[in-house]
Amino acid sequence: MKILNKTKMLVNASVVVAIALAFLMPVSAAPAQNQVSYKKDPNMMFRSEWIEQATGFVDASRGIDYVHCVDENIVWAVAYDGTSTQAPCQEFTKTINGGDLWTPGFINGADGLRSAMIFALDVNKAWVPMYAASGGVQGIYYTSNGGSTWARQTTALYSDPASFPNCVHFWDENIGWCMGDPIGGYFEIYTTIDGGVTWTRVPQADIPTPLAGEWGVVGYYDVIGDTIWFGTNVGRVYKSIDRGLHWTVAQTTLSAYINPTFKDANHGVVIDLNAGAVAYLAETSDGGTTWSTISYTGPCYDSDLIYLPGTENMYISTGAADGKSGASYSLDGGHSWNDYAEQYDLQMMSMDFVEGKIGWAGAFNTDDVTGGIWKHLPAAEPKPVLTISIVGGKGFTVTVKNIGDGEATDVTCDITIAGGLFINPKTFNGNQATLGVGANFTVTGAPKGIGLGLLKPMPTITIDVNCTQGIGATKTIGAKIFFSKVTLQ
């Protein structure tokens, strides 16, 4: 059995008013150690704005399955029937002015089908994998005239009774890739060099064998340059570095429906979007060869997760299930999360973003002039956000990093050690005149003494960071000190 999409089992828009107002936050993994505390509410430091827009669908409770941004003005999205989640639906909507006006339409010739996702190249050209909900000829459907008419590209077969198209992507108007579930013992993957007029299936020898019961998931993929990653229902990530011609596979630390989102060719995060599960995250720093679980703090939602292009390390999560609706953001690669307070308890689903922190998140409409999608706009004034990390050893090293989107000036770092026997010196200091976005500086210290927590309280190291923008952070951590060796607790 195949999960159809991360939003397909969600309730319709009417549930928004029926969700209890009790404070039910998503359950996170075990808290990570050494988390920074901000001196100001991060929401105030990093204020962004969500604006509700109308998707234009005449029928109510149209949920947005998938959003694709061409740029900050041209955005396409596909819908499903929120009142009957398994019903056929061939509707899409498009804006050419940043969402001020969304114009809905129908994918003709696709009766009985549902959309897996959408990829658009510009205002006119778009591709949609359509799968069978109740009959119909599934496959890749294409428009070259802005969605006025659509035609199935017949050489991407998806004609076996077990076929199921999941994803499609194009690098330009000619070169593309699409992926479907395993048929004949290997994933049904095609490439094209003529815009999809001719799709050629990738040979079995070039694709690792799927596990028993393994398949892809609709829209669960990411692309950086020539590299593609797609996730499967058993926690694995397939990867191609040559636009889909040859593949490798790696097991993540997660076990179910994996959606990847990458910052660059090496750094990425996956989320387990299994229906009804809490949000589980894992990260890679080697392009997906190896993965480690993220033990995060704060509310991370489990409808969608995305890296915001052009940012230092910002991710957004969305949620639409009972008790887990809203949006949150992380500035440190998914290790700590903060709510968008104004979005709490509002259903939010599939996302896409362009640089400048401009993006959209799907929702449900009420009618053709009310709701259906949220637009994210950045803060009016860029702000720095300072984080603190510390490692022990022969002495200790404190690193202060600016993970915000504005420069910090006159940054000071004051470190105080309290407790223990004969620890000297007890204070250390460092400063940096200018700390740009993504930049960091370190302060090292080698206290001497004994503080093992046996005769006197265990020493604590307190780190206090400030800058002229009025934004700071503080961290306090216990440490055993034996002469110059520091062991953090």
Give the model confidence (pLDDT) of 236-250 as tens digits: 999 999 999 999 999
Q: Is the pLDDT of residue 465 over 90?
A: yes
Comparing C-alpha atoms, which of 222, 328, 311 is closest to residue 270? Answer: 222
Residue-wise pLDDT tens digits, 415-432: 999 988 778 888 999 999
Comparing C-alpha atoms, which of 190, 326, 164 is closest to residue 245? Answer: 190
Query: In this structure, what token pair is assigned to residue 104?
Result: 């809905």
Q: Is 227 found in the same domain as 289? A: yes
Residue-wise pLDDT tens digits, 199-218: 999 999 999 999 999 999 99
On whether residue 9 sits in a domain, the answer given is: no
Q: Is 198 found in the same domain as 329? A: yes
Query: How many domains is the chain built from?
Result: 2
Which pLDDT score is estimated for 46? Answer: 63
On whether residue 10 sits in a domain, the answer given is: no
Whole-number Å distance between alpha carbons of 476 and 466: 15
Which pLDDT score is estimated for 36? Answer: 57
Residue-wise pLDDT tens digits, 112-148: 999 999 999 999 999 999 999 988 999 999 999 999 9
Give just the sign of the alpha carbon dihedral 222, 226, 227, 229: positive
For 202-291, strand residue ranges (E) read: 216-224, 227-232, 236-240, 248-251, 258-262, 268-272, 280-284
Q: Is the pLDDT of residue 23 over 60?
A: no
On whether residue 3 sits in a domain, the answer given is: no
User: Vertex 14, ends 104 and 116: CA angle to 5°?
Assistant: 45
Q: Is 274 found in the same domain as 300? A: yes
Whole-number Å distance between alpha carbons of 320 and 10: 7
Q: Is the pLDDT of residue 31 over 50?
A: no
Look at the block and give the residue holding tokens 């700390």. 435
pLDDT grade for 381, boundaries at 50, 70 and 90: confident
Whole-number Å distance between alpha carbons of 3 and 405: 37
The domain of 83 spans 15-377
SS3 112: coil
On whether residue 164 sits in a domain, the answer given is: yes
Q: Is 401 found in the same domain as 299? A: no
Which residue, of 377, 405, 437, is where some domain finishes? 377
Look at the block and give the residue holding tokens 């040979």. 203
Comparing C-alpha atoms, which of 311, 390, 448, 369 is closest to residue 55? Answer: 369
Cα distances (Å, whole numbers) of residue 372 to 13, 59, 240, 275, 367: 9, 11, 35, 21, 9
Which residue, of 351, 377, 403, is where some domain finishes? 377
Average pLDDT over residues 391-408: 93
On whether residue 5 sits in a domain, the answer given is: no
Average pLDDT over residues 293-301: 95
**For strand 324-330 and strand 351-354, is the pairing parallel, antiparallel, or unpaired?**
unpaired
**For strand 91-95 and strand 75-81, is the pairing parallel, antiparallel, or unpaired?**
antiparallel
Q: Is 405 found in the same domain as 373? A: no
Q: Is the pLDDT of residue 7 over 60?
A: no
Residue type, position 348, single letter: M
Q: Is the pLDDT of residue 327 over 80?
A: yes
Q: Is the pLDDT of residue 9 over 50?
A: no
SS3 57: coil
On whether residue 216 sits in a domain, the answer given is: yes
